[in-house]
């Protein structure tokens, strides 16, 4: 899911999850390095990111909106998820060593990004953890299956309420069993890719970004999918979506 992320051109062996702090404009990448995949001590991967880390980072708000990174003891870098590119600055990786660290080690990368004058917010799974998102696993908005491993990730319906007016919504993800569609405030688009293997699935595996330009700016975003209900082993019932992020661009 996170195979296209690059930090200053460098790719972690494995990214377990990605979080984003909208207030601080900081990505947190939770990573795992292993001797088996690196064919070297996994701590050497951490050293790559220590070499580009900054001693000090502040993200100063600008009068005309947006932010400007100010750093000391390091350099600004480019961060990409394979679709979007941000100017950023990397903190020193955090990790805890133990007796298995020569075989594998988990570590965190925190990367602050400059926000351009045009403001946006980015929402990543799990979507049921945001206070301003009314998330539903099923498209008929029946109770969420709390123990399902993709609860908060796969979706059938979602409502996002914001303090600022949204002019564009960008969704990066894939349909489940296709054909399938996703709609934002009544604007419907078909998925060209699917992220699961299932009989009767008509689309190839992959991920894509779908933009929705709203006819009128609004503070409420309603996201809906085709049927994602009941017995999900049946393709016709499993036409929801798996999203990697939802981006809201403001007026």
pLDDT in tens, 191-225: 999 998 888 888 999 999 999 989 899 999 999 99
Last residue of a domain, one of 53, 85, 117: 117
Element (H, E) at 161: strand 157-175
Cα–Cα distance for residue pair 15/32, rounded to 1 Å: 6
State pTM to two decimals: 0.69
Q: Is residue 1 part of a domain?
A: no
- Give the three-class secondary structure for 169: strand
What is the residue range of 40's domain?
6-117
pLDDT for residue 191 = 96
Looking at the structure, tell me whether residues 90 and 132 fall in a common domain: no
For 49-90, write each residue's pLDDT tens digit. 999 999 999 988 876 677 889 999 999 999 988 888 899 999
pLDDT at 60: 86
Domain edge (last residue) among 65, 91, 117:
117
Domain contains 142: yes
Assess whether 181 and 134 both reside in one domain. yes
Question: How many structural domains compose the chain?
Answer: 2
Q: Are residues 243 and 135 in the same domain?
A: yes
Nearest CA-CA partner of 165 in 115, 127, 218, 122: 218
Q: Which two tokens stand for residue 62?
A: 């600008």
> Are 74 and 185 within one domain?
no
% of residues, the chain, pLDDT over 70: 98
User: CA 122, CA 155: separation in Å to the nearest integer?
Assistant: 17
The verdict on 139 and 160 lying in the same domain is yes
- Of 74, 98, 117, the one marking the end of a domain is 117
By the 8 A CB rule, do 153 and 126 touch? yes
């Amino acid at each position: 899911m996170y195979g296209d992320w690059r930090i200053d051109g460098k790719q972690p062996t494995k990214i377990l999850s990605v979080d984003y702090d909208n207030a601080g404009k900081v990505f947190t990448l939770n990573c795992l390095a292993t001797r088996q995949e690196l064919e070297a001590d996994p701590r050497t991967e951490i050293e790559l990111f220590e070499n580009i880390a900054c001693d000090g980072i502040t993200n100063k708000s600008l009068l005309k909106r947006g932010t400007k990174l100010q750093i000391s003891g390091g350099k600004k870098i480019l961060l990409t998820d394979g679709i979007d590119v941000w100017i950023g600055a990397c903190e020193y990786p955090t990790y805890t060593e133990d007796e298995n660290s020569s075989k594998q080690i988990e570590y965190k990368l925190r990367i602050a990004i400059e926000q351009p004058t045009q403001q946006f917010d980015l929402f990543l799974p799990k979507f049921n953890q945001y206070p301003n998102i009314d998330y539903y696993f099923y498209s008929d908005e029946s109770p969420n299956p709390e123990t399902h491993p993709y609860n908060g990730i796969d979706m059938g319906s979602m409502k996002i309420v914001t303090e600022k007016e949204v002019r564009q919504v960008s969704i990066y993800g894939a349909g489940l069993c296709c054909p399938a569609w996703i709609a934002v405030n009544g604007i419907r688009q078909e998925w060209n890719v699917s992220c699961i293997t299932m009989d009767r699935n008509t689309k190839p595996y992959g991920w894509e970004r779908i933009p929705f330009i709203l006819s009128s700016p609004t503070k409420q975003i309603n996201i809906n999918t085709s049927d994602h209900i009941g017995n999900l082993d049946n393709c016709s019932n499993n036409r929801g979506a798996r999203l990697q992020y939802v981006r809201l661009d403001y007026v």
